[in-house]
């Protein structure tokens, strides 16, 4: 087998498990005799160029660390042809055979753009807490973000119960509600406002009011938790809180989880997923694969053309939709006369 010079970078928003994937790539490559270098700060590292050699000693004991040892960034400059040509030049000068890019759809678009000007292998690995990448059931970092959001909802509920308040919990996922849906289900939220289910603000307010009325008849004036994805509500979460206070006559408190969702030690599912995909990516390099994403479908590795990952929209499964409608609908089966 011909040995390869493999490059790796992490791009876009960081996701717990990126380090686990980097470790897997290095360990799998080193075992097969390949050389690995890491570019720092995403695509900026390709342009500088800013890189360092990676080996098993350098990735020892990083599987449990959040963030990314290679740092990450978004790079608007890389959309320009001149930038991609410059990156291709640096890769050729370093005699790189393949580059593995960890990130989301923006990172994959950058990978595809690079492939137009460089004849080496380009392979993407899905790493984003939003889980909005088509062609893979889950993405690196998604499981940990759910855990973080769920833990936060649990803590919010404690204080919400103490004061009998309504709480709005804002999670990430401005274009996709996968994280919000799983956080709402696992945290036993009472309502969720997600891109896939949201239509009209007035209709949503009316629905929340009805749900809250039924909830209070059933349980009394206890807590009511609403999960909301970021930047979805017109004029923001604080405006929604004001409207709900005026509508319900109760206290409403907004809680924005923000970037805390990106941090923390990756949970076991993310470590296993990241490790599996890292090993599979090295195997794809050895097989000469190009312009693909290495994901996972039905617990098995899957290869998907890069452009398909953003050209096809990922949608809720039927089972997730049924679960959401069943568990977050106070009206579906209750006889309030009992």
> In this predicted model, what pLDDT tens digit does every residue of 43-77 receive, in sequence order?
999 999 999 999 999 999 999 999 999 999 899 99
Looking at 14, 105, 130, 132, which residue is catalytic? Answer: 130
Dist CA 258 CA 56 (whole Å): 33
Q: How far apart are CA 179 and CA 236, in angstroms?
A: 19
pLDDT for residue 139? 98
Specify whether 137 is catalytic: no
Give the CB-side neighbour count of residue 115, counting CA atoms within 13 A: 21
pLDDT value at residue 331: 55
Average pLDDT on 237-256 reads: 90
pTM attached to this predicted model = 0.93
List of long-range contacts for 118-122, beta carbons under 8 Å, 24+ apart: 118/84, 118/87, 118/88, 118/91, 118/92, 120/91, 120/92, 120/96, 121/97, 121/285, 121/288, 121/289, 121/290, 122/98, 122/290, 122/291, 122/306
pLDDT of residue 198: 84
Rounded to the nearest integer, the mean pLDDT of the chain is 92
Average pLDDT over every residue of 129-148: 96
Residue 176 Cα to chain centre, angstroms: 10
pLDDT band at residue 25 using 50, 70 and 90 as cut-offs: very high
The whole-number average pLDDT for the span 255-261 is 89
High-pLDDT (> 90) share of the chain, % = 76
Q: Which two tokens stand for residue 118?
A: 């460089």
Residue 116 pLDDT greater than 90, yes or no: yes
Least-confidence region, from 92-96, 208-212, 326-330, 333-337: 333-337
Cβ contacts of 282-288, under 8 Å, gap ≥ 24: 282/6, 282/25, 282/28, 282/29, 282/32, 282/34, 283/28, 284/123, 285/4, 285/6, 285/34, 285/97, 285/98, 285/100, 285/121, 285/123, 286/1, 286/4, 286/32, 288/121
User: Per-residue pLDDT for 334 more than 70?
Assistant: no
Report CA torsion sign: 185, 103, 266, 258. negative
DSSP symbol at 41: S
pLDDT given at position 132? 95
């Amino acid at each position: 087998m011909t040995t390869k010079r493999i490059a790796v970078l992490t791009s876009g928003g960081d996701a717990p498990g990126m380090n686990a994937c980097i470790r897997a790539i290095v360990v799998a490559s080193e075992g097969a005799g390949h050389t690995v270098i890491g570019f720092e700060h995403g695509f900026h590292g390709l342009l500088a160029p800013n890189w360092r050699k990676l080996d098993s000693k350098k990735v020892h004991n990083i599987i449990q660390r959040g963030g990314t040892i290679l740092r990450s960034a978004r790079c608007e400059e890389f959309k320009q042809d001149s930038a991609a040509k410059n990156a291709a030049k640096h890769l050729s000068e370093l005699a790189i055979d393949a580059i593995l890019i960890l990130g989301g759809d923006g990172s994959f678009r950058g990978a595809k753009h690079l492939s137009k000007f460089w004849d080496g292998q380009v392979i993407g690995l899905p790493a984003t807490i939003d889980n909005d990448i088509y062609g893979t059931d889950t993405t690196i970092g998604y499981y940990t973000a759910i855990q973080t959001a769920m833990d936060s909802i649990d803590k919010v509920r404690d204080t919400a119960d103490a004061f009998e308040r309504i709480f709005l919990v804002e999670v990430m996922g401005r274009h996709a509600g996968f994280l919000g849906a799983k956080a709402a289900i696992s945290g036993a939220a009472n309502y969720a406002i997600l891109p896939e289910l949201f239509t009209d603000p007035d209709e949503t307010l009316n629905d929340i009011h009805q749900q809250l009325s039924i909830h209070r008849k059933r349980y009394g004036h206890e807590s009511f938790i609403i999960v909301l994805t970021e930047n979805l509500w017109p004029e923001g979460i604080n405006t929604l809180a004001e409207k709900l206070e005026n509508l319900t006559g109760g206290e409403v408190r907004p809680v924005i989880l923000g970037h805390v969702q990106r941090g923390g030690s990756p949970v076991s599912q993310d470590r296993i997923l990241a490790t599996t995909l890292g090993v599979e990516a090295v195997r794809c390099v050895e097989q000469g694969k190009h312009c693909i994403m290495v994901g996972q479908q039905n617990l098995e590795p899957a290869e998907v053309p890069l452009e398909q990952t953003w050209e096809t929209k990922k949608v809720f499964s039927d089972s997730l939709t049924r679960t959401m409608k069943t568990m977050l609908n106070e009206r579906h089966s209750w006889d309030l006369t009992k």
